[in-house]
């Protein structure tokens, strides 16, 4: 290959990845530099029923990158979110930062959103996504310029550290860890649903799902992906529209997903009272501001059943599930219903 051709191929590859896409065996962890690159950590302690989440959305505006930051806890309903004028996402590996307020890598996380909203944690014994060919978005990861991609890159791990949430200080030693990324050319879709749970009777089990309206130019469809890491370590993923479709029925308090393939059947049921949910912000990247976007339960109930060729393989229930129903109009209406002003971008649980 001559030098000119080599440069042309390199430019084509960079342009392809800058669209948000990753080819087969691609690495989804480095940033793509699309409009929004979101990073999410979730920590759970089944013995106490406590949950902590941290998020960083690195957003691109015309004058540079900024960040949507958040820290929230269950069961006492703590919530702190912020707009940070600086946001950076690593192009060489998993990494997101926002000045001194946030710095996260594959094995460490630092959050400082005030004296009463802090987190310092290291992650050991990681359980990474085991498939090199495709990530959580499966074949859709190879389609350029989608409005949203999703990849649950860490399906387990052990936390070591501490958190300050309001007036409480939590020792996170031994807590379960889950991490994911989502990114896209236009921020978030018009409507979406998401969930994740550990805390089953089998500590190694991890369940996650994500769905919504996927668009790319004239392409518009609704897709839901379900991921189950079974007790024996086998990873099951359904959600390819032709070979393993998943149907979803979702409201602010109920989630019902049914997926199937030639061999597998998965059913996920989730329940959570609306007043117990947090309302979290989502970014408008080009406008450098957040708006209410997601109604998210941090300690809901999830029941899961997995069958292979009609025979039960595993079933379980977690009372520490995250369940989310997304949409800006829906979330804004819920913030107002809880008595917050029209400029509010988030809200703690109504019964917190």
pLDDT per position as a tens digit, 58-86: 999 999 999 999 999 999 899 999 999 99
Q: Which domain holds residue 236?
A: 34-337
**Residue bearing the bigger pLDDT, 132 or 10:** 132
The upper half-sphere exposure of residue 275, i.e. CA atoms within 13 Å in the direction of its Cβ, equals 5
Total-model pTM:
0.96
Domain tally, the chain: 1
Does a structural domain hold residue 18?
no
Does a structural domain hold residue 3?
no
What was the pLDDT predicted at 314?
98
Sole residue written with tokens 């957003």? 59
Q: What are phi and psi of 114, to 5 degrees?
A: 125, 170
Does a structural domain hold residue 160?
yes
Which residues in 230-310 belong to E strands, given as ranges? Answer: 235-238, 246-250, 254-260, 264-271, 278-284, 289-308
Does a structural domain hold residue 123?
yes
Does a structural domain hold residue 276?
yes
The residue-averaged pLDDT of 184-201 equals 89
The residue-averaged pLDDT of 227-244 equals 96
Does a structural domain hold residue 245?
yes
Does a structural domain hold residue 311?
yes
pLDDT at 8 over 70: no
pLDDT at 9 over 60: no
What is the pLDDT confidence band of residue 190, given thresholds at 50, 70 and 90? confident
Residues 6+ apart with CB under 8 A from 290: 68, 81, 83, 281, 282, 283, 284, 345, 346
- What the block records as the tokens of 239 is 């959600």
pLDDT at 139 over 70: yes
pLDDT at 37 over 90: yes
Does a structural domain hold residue 200?
yes
- Beta-carbon neighbour count of residue 259 at 10 Å? 25
What was the pLDDT predicted at 10?
65
Q: What is the mean pLDDT of the chain?
A: 94
């Amino acid at each position: 290959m001559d030098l000119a051709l080599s440069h042309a191929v390199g430019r084509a590859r960079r342009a392809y990845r800058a669209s948000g896409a990753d080819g087969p065996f691609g690495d989804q962890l480095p940033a793509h530099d699309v409009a929004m690159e979101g990073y999410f950590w979730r920590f759970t302690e089944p013995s106490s029923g406590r949950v902590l989440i941290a998020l960083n959305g690195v957003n691109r505006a015309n004058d540079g990158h900024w960040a949507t930051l958040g820290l929230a806890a269950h069961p006492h309903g703590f919530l702190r979110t912020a707009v940070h004028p600086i946001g950076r996402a690593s192009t060489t590996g998993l990494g997101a930062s926002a000045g001194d307020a946030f710095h996260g890598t594959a094995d460490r996380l630092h959050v400082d959103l005030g004296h009463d909203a802090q987190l310092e944690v290291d992650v050991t014994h990681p359980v990474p996504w085991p498939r090199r060919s495709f990530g959580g978005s499966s074949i859709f990861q190879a389609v350029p310029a989608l409005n949203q991609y999703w990849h649950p890159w860490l399906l387990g791990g052990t936390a070591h550290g501490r958190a300050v949430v309001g007036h409480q200080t939590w020792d996170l030693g031994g807590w379960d860890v889950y991490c994911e990324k989502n990114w896209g050319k236009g921020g978030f879709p018009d409507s979406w649903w998401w969930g994740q749970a550990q805390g089953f009777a089998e500590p190694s089990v991890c369940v996650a799902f994500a769905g919504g309206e996927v668009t790319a130019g004239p392409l518009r469809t609704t897709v839901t992906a379900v991921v189950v890491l079974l007790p024996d370590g086998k990873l099951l993923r359904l959600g390819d529209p032709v070979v393993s479709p998943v149907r979803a029925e979702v409201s602010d308090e109920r989630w019902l997903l049914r997926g199937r393939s030639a061999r597998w059947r998965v059913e996920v049921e989730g329940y959570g009272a609306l007043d117990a949910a947090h309302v979290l912000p989502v970014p408008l990247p080009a406008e450098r501001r957040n708006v209410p976007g997601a109604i998210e339960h941090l300690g809901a109930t999830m029941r899961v059943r997995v069958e292979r060729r009609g025979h039960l393989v595993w079933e379980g229930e977690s009372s520490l599930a995250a369940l989310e129903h997304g949409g800006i109009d829906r979330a804004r209406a819920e913030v107002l219903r809880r008595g917050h002003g029209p400029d509010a971008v988030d809200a703690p649980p109504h019964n917190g």
